[in-house]
Structure 1
Amino acid sequence: MLPGSLTSIYGQYKHDTDVVATWLATTAKKCGYSADLVEPKPQSMATTAAPKKSGRLKGKARKQAMAKKGSGTPTQPAVKEEPKYMLAIKDFIPLSHFIVAATEHMVKVPSYFVITIKRVIKVRKDFSGMLEDQGETLGPSTVEKHSFFVGVLERVYEVLKPLIPKDAFDMGSLVDAVGEDSNRKKPTSSNPFDVLDVYEPSAEFLNAPDVEIPSSANTEYEAESEDDLEAAYFALGMLLLEFLKLRSQVKVLWKAYLQGVLELAAAAVAANTAIDLARSMEEDAAPLIEKHGGVEKMLSKWYYASCLVEGYDPMERELPGDDINMKTYEISDGMMYNVMGFLSAWTRACPSSGTSMYNGQYGWYDPGLNTETAPSRTKYQQDKASLMEMFPEFLTMGRFFKDNPIADHLSHGMRSMADTGQIPLWLVLAGQTLLDTMRILGSSLSIPFTDMARYNAMVEETIEGTLQMHRSDKVAGWPSSNNILLHHLQELARLWKSDPIKKLKEKAGFPSKSWLFLKRHPMYCGLWVHQMRLEIHRAGVAYECAWGTIMYSGHLYNALQSEKAMGDQQWADMELLFMFQGQDKFFVGSPPTNADGYFKAFCLCMGYSSSNWAPHRRGVMPAASRAGPRSLKDSDNVSTTFNGKFEQDYSTASLTAEEIQKIIDAGDWKRESDEDGMAVLERGPSTIKRGKGKAKRKPSGGAPTPAELIWNLALVLHAEVPEMTFDYFKMHRICWVLLGAIRKMLDAQIRTRFGLGYLENNSQLPFIVGYCFMAAVGKSDGPPTMELLHRAGATLHYSLQQDDLGRSVKDALASLGIAVEVQEDTED
C-alpha cells in the first residue's frame, strides 16, 4: 500500500524522491561504499529564501501543540526521531554504478524502488514537456534546467536495470502505477494537471501486498531539494491540483446540505477542515514558491500560459476596465485566478487601520442569479461584487469584534492578509469556497443563519427553563456559582440576536446591512452551532451528574419495562439516551431483571461497593465504592475532537490528513451503503441511518484521498449530530416532572413504610426510585411488595402519553431538522 496515501500529492512526490535516495545510500553502504563517502552529511540549511513568519507552529512544536490541544492532557515527551540526511542529486549516478559493480553482494532491486523511480521520472518528464510547450510564457530558464533531474533519474534506472528481477514487470498494477494504462487520460499541454495523473494509482496497486513502499519513518535519507523555477512550478501545480479537489469536495458538502443529506454543522466543520488541510499541505512548498515570486506571480503566469494553450490572448480586453479577457472566465475561475485577483485588489485597498465599507461600484450580490446560464461577464461581475461586499465584514470582524468566541479559517486568513498583505494559496481556496457556497445555495443562502438562530433560541430557552425550575432548589453537586456557566451560555446564545458587526461598522460611520456576515457566510454559522452544541452538551451532562434525575429515572424505567408495569408503552427519549450513552453508563453489568437486581443496581449507581453483596457480610456497615457514584458521561467522539479548534487565535497547528484519519478512526464508525446507495454508519449494537437524500458516494479502494477524507469526516459528524444535540436539560426537566407525579401518587404509602421525613428536601426527589426498590426487596416496614413499582408504572404510563411527553426531546430534535431512526440488530 502506498505510504502516506493520505498525504498531499506534493508530499507523496517528495516522499518518492526520499525513497530513491534512501535505497541508493543504504544499499551502497551495505555493499562497502568507502567510509568517508558513505557517512552521510547532515542535511544543510535550505537554500531557498526563508519564508516570512506566519506565527504558526511547525515540526515538533506543531505536533506537541496538536497533542496538547487535542487531548487536554500534558504533552508527552516527544519520540526521538532518527536523523535524516541529505543526499546530493549528483551522487545518485555514482552510487548506482557502485551498487552494480558490487557483484559479490548479489543485490536485487526491490519492486517498490522500480515503481517509485518510474513514477517520479514519468511525472517530472511529462511536466517538463508541458513547460517546454509553454516555455515563452513561463520563462526560458525553466526550459533550460528541466532535464537535469529527470536525466539523473533515467540514468540511475538504466544503470540498475541488470539488477532488476524479470518478474518485477509482470505485476498488473505496475502499468497503472506509472500511468501507462490506455484507459487513463493522456497528458496534454492544455491541461497541466493531467501530467500528475500518475499519482492517482488504481485500487489494485494500492492494495498490492508485494509492493510495500517504505513509510516516511523508514526513509533515513532525503533527496537534495531542488530550488529552480521548474521545481517551484511543479510544487505549485501539485498543490493547485490537490486544492481544486478539495474545492470540489467542499461543493459536494454544501450541495448535500442544501438537499438535506448533511446537517449544517457537519458540512461547515468538514469544509473548514478542508481549508485547514490545505494549510498543512502548503507548508512544505511555500518557501520554494515564495523564492520565485510567490503565489500571485506564479499563478498569474500559469493562467497566462493556459490561456495561450487554449488559443486565447490573456491580455485582450473586450471593454476598457475589464480585469481579464472575459472569454477566459472558465479557465480563470477553474484555477481560482479570479479570487486571487479579488484578494490582491483588496490588499491594496484595505485600510491599514480601522474598517471600511463597500459602495457597490462593482454591483451587488444577486442570490437569484442562475450562475449556470449567465454569460461570463455577468458571472465575473457577480463574483467580484459578492466578495468585495464581504471583505469589509471580515475586516470589521477581525479587527474589532473582540467578543467573538470563534473564527473560521477564512476569517482568520482575511484578518492576517489585511495586516501582512500576504496571500497564501490556501486563503485563495478559502475565498473560492465561500464564493462557490454562495453560488450553490443561491436564494437559500440565508437558511444557515436561520438554522443558527433557531439553535441559539433552543439553548437560551432550555437553560432558562431549567434555572426557573430550580430557582429555589439546591443540590450539593451544583453550587449556585456553577450557574455562572449557564448564564454565560445564555449570553452566547443571545450574542447574535442583535448584529454586533453592524453596530461596530455604524459606530465607525459606515452603514451596513443587518446580519450580512452571517447571512453570507454559512460556514461560520455551522461552526458556531457546532461549538455551541459541544458547550451545551458538556454543561447538560455535568448538570445531570449533579442531580441524578435522568440516571435514576433510567433505572426506574428499566425496572418497569422488565415487570411489564407500563404495558407496551415505551419512553422514546430514554430509549434514545440508552443508545447514546450506552447502558453500561447506567448499570454495572447487564440491566437487572428482578427486584433484588433493581435494588443492587440502584445502590451501585449511588456509589456503594459491590462487596456489600458478598456472602457472610451481615451486620457490617455498607462500604462505599472507591469509584464513587455512577454518572452519565460526556460524549468522547469525533465531534468533541474539534472542541476549541475554532478560536480566533489560529496560531495552533493545522491538521494533516493523517491526523484527520486518526480522528475518524477513533470514533469507531463503520461506513457502508444500503441497497438504495444511502450512507449507513454503524457503531455499537445499533445502526443509525441519516439523510433524506441518497448519498451515493462510495469509498474507492484503498486509503481515502484527502478530498475523500473530508467527505468521510462530514458523514461521521453528521451521524453524531443527534447524540450531541440531545437536550439533557430538557430531559432533566421531564424526568423531574415525572418523578414529581410519581411522588404525589405514592406519598401516602411511602410515608407509611419509611416515615414522614423520607425526603429531607426537594433536591432528593430522585430518591423516590430507591424507595420503590427498597419496598420491593423488603427494606422497609412491612413485607416485600411490588405495589409501589406497579403504581409508579401506571403513573409513568399515563404521564408519558400526555402531550407526547415521552418523546419531547426527540421531537425537539426533529424541530431542528434532526431526525433519528434507530434500527436494532436482529439475529438470524
Structure 2
Amino acid sequence: MLPKGLKSSYHRYKTDTQSFTSWLVATASSCGVVIGSDIVNNEGTPTISLHNYTVLVDAVVENGIALPKVLESVLERAISIRKRCARFFQSKKPEDEISNKGHWHFIAVMEDALNRLKPSDEEDSRTGSGKDVNDDSYSQLSNRFALLALDESWKEKPERKAAGKKSKKKNKENTNLNDKLESIARYDIEEEYDEYRSLAFFMAFCLFVDLNDLRDSIKDTWTEYKEGTLDAMTAAVTTNATLIVGRNLIDITQSLIRPSDFEGADSLPTTIFSFICLLSDRDHTFRRRPHDLFNLENYPMADWTFATTTILMKSYIAVVDPQSCPFYRKGNWGAVDPSKPYDERSIEEKFDNDREAIVDFLFECAFLLQTAEVLVIDEVTKALRDFNRTKKITMYHSFSSQVLLDIGNILADKKTAPYDDLRMTALRAKKNLTSFLELNSKVPLPTWPAANTAAVQKILRFIDLELTNDPAIPLKQESSPPGFSHTEFHLYKQNPIFTGLVMYDLSLRVQELGIAVTNNWVAVFPTLCLYNLLNNSPSIQAVTWSDFDEFLKVHDEKSFFVGGMPKDLEGSFEKLQFSLDLSPTALAKPGRSKRATNSTKGIRVINATTVLGAAFNTALKSERRDALSLVVMEELLESLELQPEMIPELVESPRGNTASQALKRKKKKRKTLTSLQLLKVLQSNLALEERKLEFNYIGLHGRCFEFLGKLRDRLHDKLVKYYGPQYIEAECQLPYVIYYVMKDALMSASASKSMGLQSDAMSSPMLIQAADLMREYTRAKSAIACRELMVFSKTYKANSTGSSKRKRGKATHWTAIKEILDSKPLVLAQEGQI
C-alpha cells in the first residue's frame, strides 16, 4: 500500500466530494432542512442523490451562508477531474447524445452549487449577510470546515520567502482539521452514471491520469540526466521509487474495480483504448501497413492508455517458444535512426522504434530466467522477467515497460550513457581498491578486520566478472544459431534504471569501505589537524590542500573535532590525541623521552553523511528484497525532518525544480504531501548526496599516508635524537609523526617560557619543516579528489561557480580521468572495448 498521506487522484476526488457533501448536509440541517438517506456505498457511508442537492443548496443560500473558501477550492478540484473524464469519454457518435448529456449532469449540479454558494468578493467566506455570526450552531459548524487541510499541489505557486501574518495563521489553523472533522457525519454522492460510463471507468481514468503524471516526472528526471544536471544513480533510484508508486496506485484501483465492470475484457489498457476508439467513431481494424498491430492513427491514445505496450507484449506471447531461449535480431521491422529526436519521428517510426525496443528487452528478460539472480534488480526488469515466466499481462507490466520506452526515447542516441558512467565508476573503484590492497599488503594494520579485506576482494571480483567481461555472452552463444551477434552488456545498455541502481550499489559499498579505511588507519585525521594548524598560524605561509577543504564540506568538523575546529597549537594537539586514541595526560607531563601511550576512550570516527545512501545500503543488505521500497523512502524523509541539521542547503536546479518548499510543506502539513512532491524531495536529496557519495576516501587516505612517510623521512634524524630509534614500532604508526612534531613545538615553547624568553610555538624547526614539506607536496597533489569530482559528480560540477571554473573543468575532463584511472584501461575505455 501507499505510505500514509500518498493518495491517488480518485481517492482525493472521493475525499473532496465527501467533504463538500458532508458540509452541505450538516449546514442545511442547522437551517432546519434534513434529508435522510437509506443508501450506503461500499464503504458504509450514506449517500445523497444529486436531485436532493438542489433542496440542500436552496436552504443554505436562503439562510445567507457562504461556502468556506477552502471548500470552494476542494469542490473546484473535484469538478475539474470529472470534467476531464467527461471530455475523455465524450462520444462523437450522434446516437450517444443522450448519454453524453447524462454524463455531464453531475458536473452541472456541482457547478450550480458552487456558483450559488461561493461568497462574493466583498463577503467573508465563513459568514453570510443573512446569518447571525454569533449563532452557535452555525459558527461551530463553520469553524470545523474552515480548518480543512487542503493539498493544492494541482495549482501550486512558488512560496514567498516571508509569509504574511494571515498565511501563517491559516497554516496554524489547518493543522487541526482532521480531529474536528471526526465529529461530523460523513456523506457521499450517489453516483448516477449510465451503463457505459460507470464509476469503474472514472476510476480507470483517474488511474491513467496518475500514471501519466508519473511518466512525465520520470521524463523530466532523465531529461535532466541527458542535460548533465543529474547523475545516473539519482535518476535510477528516483525512477525505481516512482515505479513502486505506480504499482501501488494500480493495486489500489484494481482492488476497487469489480471484474464484472469490465466483463469480457482481458486488460484495462486495451479495454479503455478500444472504448475510446469506439466513441471516436474510428475504424479500429484499419491498418496502414501489413505488420501494424492496430490503427496507428490512434497511436497517441494508445500511448496514453498503455495499450501500445500491452499489444506489443501480446504479440510477443504469440511467437515466443516457451521451450527455448529466444533472441531478437535487430532491424527486423526496418532500421530505426536513434539520432532523430523521438518527437520529430512519424507515427510509424515511433511505433517501429517502440516495438523493437520492447521486444528486444523482453527477449533479454527471457534469457535472465535461465541464469542466476542478479545482484540488484530494478522494477522494470523484475516485472518483465515475471511476465516472461507467467505469460500473463498485468497493468503494471504495461506501465513499467512504457516507462522503459520513455527513458530510451528521451536518451535516444545517448541511451548507453548510463552504462558508460557505470564502466568509468567501476574502473575508478578497481584502481582505488587495488592500490589499497597493495598498501595493506606492504604495511599491514593489525586492527584492520579481515572481513573488510574480504569485502574489498568481493567488489573487485564483481568488477572483473560482471563489469569487465560480459559473463552472459558465452551462455547466449551456446543458445543461439551460429553467426548470431550478441551485444555485450545488453541488459545494462538497454535498461538505464538497472544500470543506475548497480552503479549506486557499487558506489555505496566503495564509500562504506572508504570510511572504514579512514577510521581504522587514522592517517587522514592527523594530517588534517596539521593542515588546520598551519593555516591558522599568522607566522607560517598558508598551505592549500583543496581535497581537505572538500572533506570538511562533506563531513561537519564536529564529527572529528570535539567542541569545534581548534585555532592554536594547544587545541590542535588535544584534538590530535583524540584522533590517535592517545592519553591527554601526555600534555601534563611533557618530556622528550616520553613516548605516546594508548588511551582506552576510543578514537574519533566519521560516519557517512549520506543519510539516504546509508539507509538504502542497509536495505540492500537485507536479502535485497524490495530494497528501494517507497516505505523506506518515506521513513528516510521523516528522519530528515526530525534532524534538520542533516538537511543540506537545497539549491535550485537549472530546470527550476527545487524540493525545499515541498519539504517545508511536509513539516507543516504531514498528511498532504502528494506522491510527486515526495518523489521530488527524494530526487533533490539524492542529488545533493551524490558529491558526498563520490568523494574518494581511499585516495585521500593514500595521499595522507604518502605524505606522512615523506614527513618521517625528512624529520627522521631529529625524531631519533629526541625520541629514540623506536619512536614508531611499525610503518602503520606513521600518523604518530605528527604527534611528535606538535609535541616538540609545545615543549620548545614551554622551555622558552620557563626561561623568560619570548617564543612563538609555531617557530619550532620541526613544525616549519613540516609546513614546507606539505606546501611542496600539495603543489602536485592538492586537488586530485576535487578533479575526480569534476569528472564523476554532476552536482559538484553544477555547483562550481564562475565561468572560468566551468571551462577549466570541461577542458580537463580526460586529463583528470588519466590521473584517476590506469593508462591501459583508459585507452580501452576510450575505444569502447570495456
Aligned to 1:487: 457
2:170 matches 1:203: no
Moved more, 631-640 or 141-150: 141-150
Q: Which amino acid aligns with 1:447?
A: A
2:739 matches 1:770: yes
Matches within 5 A, 1:376-775: 376-397=347-368, 399-494=369-464, 495-509=466-480, 512-563=486-537, 567-607=541-581, 628-643=602-617, 649-650=625-626, 653-655=629-631, 662=638, 668-673=647-652, 679=653, 694-697=654-657, 706-707=675-676, 710-711=679-680, 713-775=682-744
Give the deviation of 1:513 after TM superposition.
2.4
Equivalent position SS for 2:44: strand
Q: Which amino acid aligns with 2:547?
A: D
Give the deviation of 1:525 after TM superposition.
1.5
Aligned to 1:794: 772
CA contact (8 A) 2:269 2:395 kept: no
Q: Which amino acid aligns with 1:793?
A: A
2:783 matches 1:813: no
Give the deviation of 1:338 after TM superposition.
1.4
Q: Which amino acid aligns with 1:258?
A: K
Aligned to 2:813: none
Matches within 5 A, 1:148-547: 200-201=154-155, 203=157, 212=174, 220=182, 223=188, 230-289=198-257, 291=259, 292-293=261-262, 297-307=267-277, 312-350=282-320, 352=322, 355-360=325-330, 361-363=332-334, 366-397=337-368, 399-494=369-464, 495-509=466-480, 512-547=486-521
Q: Encode CA deviations 1:729-753: one digit per residue, 9 max, x unaligned.
A: 1111111100000011111212222
CA contact (8 A) 2:89 2:276 kept: no
CA contact (8 A) 1:276 1:655 kept: no
Unpaired segments ≥5 residues, structure 1: 47-84, 173-196, 616-621, 674-678, 680-693
Moved more, 362-371 or 726-735: 362-371
Judging changes above 3 Å, is the alpha-carbon distance between structure 1 residues 306 and 12 closer, same or farther for their aligned structure 2 residues?
same
CA contact (8 A) 2:547 2:782 kept: yes
Judging changes above 3 Å, is the alpha-carbon distance between structure 1 residues 568 and 535 closer, same or farther for their aligned structure 2 residues?
same
Q: Which amino acid aligns with 2:511?
A: H
Distance 2:766 2:582 in 1: 23
Equivalent position SS for 2:375: coil
CA contact (8 A) 1:276 1:654 kept: yes
Distance 1:728 1:199 in 2: 41
Count of matched residue pairs:
723
Aligned to 1:89: 47
Aligned to 2:146: none
Equivalent position SS for 1:203: coil
Equivalent position SS for 2:198: helix
Moved more, 285-294 or 205-214: 205-214
Give the deviation of 1:758 after TM superposition.
1.4
CA contact (8 A) 2:339 2:412 kept: yes
Equivalent position SS for 2:728: coil
Judging changes above 3 Å, is the alpha-carbon distance between structure 1 residues 119 and 520 closer, same or farther for their aligned structure 2 residues?
closer
Equivalent position SS for 1:87: coil
Matches within 5 A, 1:29-68: none
Judging changes above 3 Å, is the alpha-carbon distance between structure 1 residues 740 and 204 closer, same or farther for their aligned structure 2 residues?
closer
Fraction of identical pairs, as percent: 19
Distance 1:486 1:391 in 2: 34
Give the deviation of 1:706 after TM superposition.
4.3
Unpaired segments ≥5 residues, structure 2: 127-150, 590-595, 666-672, 753-760, 803-834
CA contact (8 A) 2:48 2:189 kept: no
Give the deviation of 1:411 after TM superposition.
0.6
Distance 2:152 2:271 in 1: 24
Q: Which amino acid aligns with 2:422?
A: M
Distance 1:614 1:271 in 2: 58
Give the deviation of 1:480 after TM superposition.
2.7
CA contact (8 A) 2:648 2:688 kept: no
Distance 2:333 2:505 in 1: 36
Q: Encode CA deviations 1:215-263: one digit per residue, 9 max, x unaligned.
A: 7777655859979862222122122122222222322222222222222
CA contact (8 A) 2:268 2:395 kept: no
Distance 1:31 1:535 in 2: 67
Judging changes above 3 Å, is the alpha-carbon distance between structure 1 residues 96 and 107 closer, same or farther for their aligned structure 2 residues?
farther
Q: Encode CA deviations 1:572-609: one digit per residue, 9 max, x unaligned.
A: 11111011011112311232222211111212334568
CA contact (8 A) 1:315 1:324 kept: yes
Judging changes above 3 Å, is the alpha-carbon distance between structure 1 residues 218 and 290 closer, same or farther for their aligned structure 2 residues?
farther
Q: Encode CA deviations 1:244-291: one digit per residue, 9 max, x unaligned.
A: 222223222222222222222222222222222222332321223462
Judging changes above 3 Å, is the alpha-carbon distance between structure 1 residues 513 and 374 closer, same or farther for their aligned structure 2 residues?
same
Judging changes above 3 Å, is the alpha-carbon distance between structure 1 residues 493 and 373 closer, same or farther for their aligned structure 2 residues?
same
Judging changes above 3 Å, is the alpha-carbon distance between structure 1 residues 342 and 501 closer, same or farther for their aligned structure 2 residues?
farther
Distance 1:823 1:319 in 2: 54
Distance 1:612 1:395 in 2: 67
Equivalent position SS for 2:782: helix
Distance 1:708 1:568 in 2: 46
Kindly report the root-mean-square deviation, in angstroms, between the aligned alpha carbons of the 2 structures: 4.8
CA contact (8 A) 2:336 2:349 kept: no
Judging changes above 3 Å, is the alpha-carbon distance between structure 1 residues 485 and 114 closer, same or farther for their aligned structure 2 residues?
same
Q: Encode CA deviations 1:612-667: one digit per residue, 9 max, x unaligned.
A: 9999xxxxxx9999963211211243344433667864498545996686577665
Distance 2:500 2:403 in 1: 14
Distance 2:700 2:477 in 1: 42
Q: Which amino acid aligns with 1:15?
A: T
Distance 1:653 1:290 in 2: 28
Give the deviation of 1:24 after TM superposition.
7.0
Give the deviation of 1:377 after TM superposition.
1.8
Judging changes above 3 Å, is the alpha-carbon distance between structure 1 residues 204 and 107 closer, same or farther for their aligned structure 2 residues?
farther
Distance 1:276 1:728 in 2: 33
Give the deviation of 1:359 after TM superposition.
4.2
Give the deviation of 1:152 after TM superposition.
8.9
Q: Which amino acid aligns with 1:19?
A: S
Judging changes above 3 Å, is the alpha-carbon distance between structure 1 residues 86 and 240 closer, same or farther for their aligned structure 2 residues?
same
Aligned to 2:91: 133
Distance 1:502 1:522 in 2: 20
Aligned to 1:116: 74
Tell me the TM-score normalised to structure 2 length: 0.74
Aligned to 1:193: none
Q: Which amino acid aligns with 1:811?
A: R
Equivalent position SS for 1:265: helix
Q: Encode CA deviations 1:122-148: one digit per residue, 9 max, x unaligned.
A: 5436634654536899x9999799589
Give the deviation of 1:303 after TM superposition.
2.7
Judging changes above 3 Å, is the alpha-carbon distance between structure 1 residues 330 and 806 closer, same or farther for their aligned structure 2 residues?
same
Aligned to 1:181: none
Q: Which amino acid aligns with 2:783?
A: R
CA contact (8 A) 1:277 1:656 kept: no
Distance 2:607 2:276 in 1: 56
CA contact (8 A) 1:89 1:224 kept: yes
